[in-house]
Structure formats: C-alpha cells, structure tokens
Amino acid sequence: IKPKFTKKLANVNVKEKEKAVLLCELSKENTKVTWKKNGKEIKSDSHLKIVADMKVHRVIIENVTLEDIGKYSCATGDVSTSATLSVEEIKPEFTKKLVNIKVKEKEKAVLLCELSKENTKVIWKKNGKEIRSDSHLKIVADMKVHQLIIENVTLEDTGEYSCVAGDVSTSATLSVEGMVACILKLVVFR
C-alpha cells in the first residue's frame, strides 16, 4: 500500500525571531520524504531542522527571518502536500535617539543613533532633504548603530538632522559656533 498524507501541511504565520513548525503526517511509518522550499530541495542545517518521527514529519525553524518566507512542500512517491510560511516583520525602533550637539567651526561632529534591529536601511536628512556620503560627510552603519560624521564643520552645516527608518525617525540640531575674528584697531593719535 502506497503511503498517503493523513495530515497535510497547514499555512503558518509567525513573527520574525519566533519559531516556525511545518508538520504533516503519513499513513505509513518511516517513509522517506523530500522537503522543498519554493521548489528547491532543503536539508537540515544550523538554521532549519528536518525531523522524522514514525509517521510525523516536521520542518522546525528557530529564530525565523524574512528569508524563510516561502512555499514549503513534503513529498513521497507521487503524493505531496504544501503550505506557505509567512513571516511578519518586526518594525525597528530607535533604542538610542539623536541628541542636539554644539561644535566649533573646523571641529568634527558625530550624530549617532541606534536601532532595535540590525542592518536596517536608514535615510539621513538635513532640514528635511535627503543627504548622502561625500567628501565632507560620512554615513556609517554598523549592525544597529548609525552615524553621520561631519569632518571640518562649517557654519553651513548648522541645521536639523534626522535619521529615518521606515515610519520611525529621530531628529536633532547641530549648532556650529563661528570662530571669533579678532579685530585689532590701530588708533593713531595725532
């Protein structure tokens, strides 16, 4: 008797970083099955475990990421079952916000903020307009920390800077103090 699925895969919806379990059951014990994700065969690795226990077959994913989204299928012989794994993205939040800073002309200014999520794409703005790295300012992203570094600050750098990640943002003001020019007045007495 050919094995058949007595319990088919069901769609699974989890949040990022949660555990996902895709489970099906066959009519025969110890049946060899092939698991696929989006049509490509998958095997157990450090992120995903394929477990067979008598008639029950599972794919277990700890710490789910957005890359795990897809259609999973389990097949044996000419029978198969499939389901979709959906992953709800955790929105990033600022765990460390930008703070107002005051620097003197020609000094270096560093605006720094930190997000709850690694490798989040951010946009830096000055007075509402998007800015990019150039010879004067450098945008640095390292895991959760995002920095805007301005070398050799000028009075034109004064303004409100913001870091935007999706629908959350943080803003701060950069104040630049000009160099006080010393004017010597030579008074000539007659």
Strands (DSSP E) found in the chain: 5-7, 12-15, 20-26, 34-37, 40-41, 48-53, 56-61, 70-76, 79-88, 94-96, 101-104, 109-115, 123-126, 129-131, 137-142, 145-150, 159-165, 168-177
What is the maximal distance between C-alpha atoms in the chain? 124
Which position has the token pair 């450090």? 46
Does the residue 186 lie in any domain? Answer: no
Range of the domain at 22: 5-88
Structural domain ending residue among the three candidates 88, 121, 146: 88
pTM over 0.85: no
Same domain, 12 and 84: yes
Reading the chain (190 residues) residue by residue, the pLDDT tens digits are 899 999 999 999 999 999 999 999 999 999 999 999 999 999 999 999 999 999 999 999 999 999 999 999 999 999 999 999 999 998 999 999 999 999 999 999 999 999 998 889 999 999 999 999 999 999 999 999 999 999 999 999 999 999 999 999 999 999 999 865 444 445 555 5
Same domain, 111 and 64: no
